[in-house]
Amino acid sequence: MNAFTTKKALAKDRLLQAIRAGRYRPGDRLRQNEIARDLGLSSTPVREALTDLVGSGLVTYEQHCGVRVAEVEPEQVRQVYQARVIIEGEIAKLAFRAINDVECDELVAMVDTMDTLRDQGRIEELMAADEKFHMTILRACGNPHLVNAAHQLWDGFPRYFVWLSEERMACSMGEHRRMVEALAAGDRRAFIDTFTEHLENSLAMVLAYVEETRDG
């Protein structure tokens, strides 16, 4: 990988994280020079990163208007979560059989860390910790192709919606802890049921936010 490719990948990752975290929100115009300054990068890799993200559907290009963060449609959200329930649900079944005691202890520590980040209002760090928690479970399945498929779905639309509600945040933390408790107890049914419930509750929260925003 040459230096330019590395800078382009860095620009794409930072821009993606900024959109997912809500620093750039649906409908916001993405001006190349401003983004480069905000992210501490040069303009050329940022331009290339924007081109790649247009191809992903996360941002859109409109003639005379430039590049904007794509609006989120309710049906898009439903389809992404439907795919997540199917794909991640099957991965979780494989992961359940493979996760060992050491990994369970690591997951408990992650949940404790997320509780601390929530209490301190460090939402972007909490989002990163949440992704690490989920990916630790999913990677235990031992099939990187399945994990990559799941990860692509995570990038399907901004995820900060899930963290806008204090009530949903508290429920999410509780669901994480119940997942780990089920893993530690070897209770497959409780683990899979909680895993699915977690996705379904997140879907309900995101849909409510998207539809409320559209109505407003």
Output the domain CATH number for residue 147.
Answer: 1.20.120.530
For 30, 50, 54, 66, the CA distances from 60, given in Å and listed in that order, are: 10, 9, 5, 8
Last residue of a domain, one of 19, 44, 69: 69
17-67 pLDDT tens trace: 888 888 888 889 998 888 888 888 888 888 888 888 887 778 888 877 788
Last residue of a domain, one of 36, 69, 102: 69
64-92 pLDDT tens trace: 778 898 888 889 889 989 999 999 999 99
Is the same domain home to 100 and 203? yes
Confidence (pLDDT) at 2: 45
179-208 pLDDT tens trace: 999 999 999 999 999 999 999 999 888 888
Is the same domain home to 118 and 30? no
Q: Percent of the chain at pLDDT above 90? A: 44
- Give residue 39's domain range: 3-69
Output the domain CATH number for residue 60.
Answer: 1.10.10.10
pTM: 0.82
Mean pLDDT (the chain) is: 87
